[in-house]
Amino acid sequence: MSEFDVCVIGSGAGGGAVAWRLAMAGKRVLVLEKGPWFREADFFKDELACCRRGAYTPDLREQQHVIEEADDEEANDTGWRGTPTRESGWDFWNGNVVGGSSNFMSGFFHRMKPVDFRLRSEFGPIHGANVVDWPIAYDDLEPYYAEVERVVGISGRVVAHPFLEPRSTPDFPYPPTLEHPVSAWIDAACARLGYRALPLPRAILSQPRGTRRACEYSGYCGSYGCASGAKGSARAALLDEAVATGRCEVRPRSQVFRLVSDARGQVVAAEYFDRDDRRRRARARAFVVACQAIESARLLLSSPGPRHPRGLGNRYGQVGRNLIFSAGGVSHGRLEFDALDPERAAQARVVGPFLNRTLHDWYVIDDPELGRVKGGVLDFLMGHPNVISRALAERRDDDGQLVWGRAFKRRLENAIRGGRRIDCEAFADWLPTDDCFVRLDGEVKDKWGRPVARVRVGAHPHDLKVGRYLAERGARVLEALGARDVVIGVSDSPPQNLVAGGCRFGRDPRRSVLDPDCRVHGADNLFVADGGFMPTGGSVPPTWTIYANALRVGDRIAAQL
| Domains located in the chain, CATH noted | 4-560 (3.50.50.60)
pLDDT in the model for residue 77 = 66
Phi, psi of 40 (to 5 degrees): -55, -40
In residues, how long is the chain?
561
- As a 3-state breakdown, the chain gives helix, strand, coil percent values, each rounded to 5, of 30, 25, 45
For the chain, how big is the Rg over CA atoms in Å?
23
Please state the separation of Cα 140 from the chain's center in Å: 22
User: pLDDT tens across 116-160, in order?
Assistant: 999 999 999 999 999 999 999 999 999 999 999 999 999 999 999
Residues 6+ apart with CB under 8 A from 373: 123, 364, 365, 367, 462, 466
> How many whole angstroms separate alpha carbon 204 and alpha carbon 226?
10
DSSP string, 90-154: -------STTGGGGS---B-----GGGGGHHHHH---TT------SS-HHHHHHHHHHHIIIII-
Residues 6+ apart with CB under 8 A from 39: none
Give the CA dihedral 233, 547, 520, 503, nearest 10 degrees.
-80
Task: With beta carbons less than 8 A apart as the criterion, state whether 318 and 310 touch.
Answer: no
User: pLDDT tens across 525-544, in order?
Assistant: 999 999 999 999 999 999 99
> How many whole angstroms separate alpha carbon 16 and alpha carbon 4?
16
Task: With beta carbons less than 8 A apart as the criterion, state whether 383 and 422 touch.
Answer: yes
Number of H helices, E strands in the chain: 14, 21
> How many whole angstroms separate alpha carbon 28 and alpha carbon 246?
9
Residues 6+ apart with CB under 8 A from 210: 241
Q: How many CB atoms lie within 10 A of CB 3?
A: 11
> How many whole angstroms separate alpha carbon 359 and alpha carbon 281?
49
Q: Which of 223, 232, 117 is nearest to 544 (CA)?
A: 232
Assign residue 519 a region: left if phi > 0, alpha if psi is -120 to 50, beta otherwise?
beta
42 DSSP assignment: G
Q: pLDDT in tens for each of the 561 residues of the chain? A: 468 999 999 999 999 999 999 999 999 999 999 999 999 999 888 887 777 778 899 999 999 999 999 986 654 567 899 999 999 999 999 999 999 999 999 999 999 999 999 999 999 999 999 999 999 999 999 999 999 999 999 999 999 999 999 999 999 999 999 999 999 999 999 999 999 999 999 999 999 999 999 999 988 888 899 999 999 999 999 999 999 999 999 999 999 999 999 999 999 999 999 999 999 999 999 999 999 999 999 999 999 999 999 999 999 999 999 999 999 999 999 999 999 999 999 999 999 999 999 999 999 999 999 999 999 999 999 988 888 888 888 899 888 899 999 999 999 998 889 999 999 999 999 999 999 999 999 999 999 999 999 999 999 999 999 999 999 999 999 999 999 999 999 999 999 999 999 999 999 999 999 999 999 999 999 999 999 999 999 999 999 999 999 999 999 999 999
Phi, psi of 239 (to 5 degrees): -70, -40
Residues 6+ apart with CB under 8 A from 306: 261, 262, 263, 265
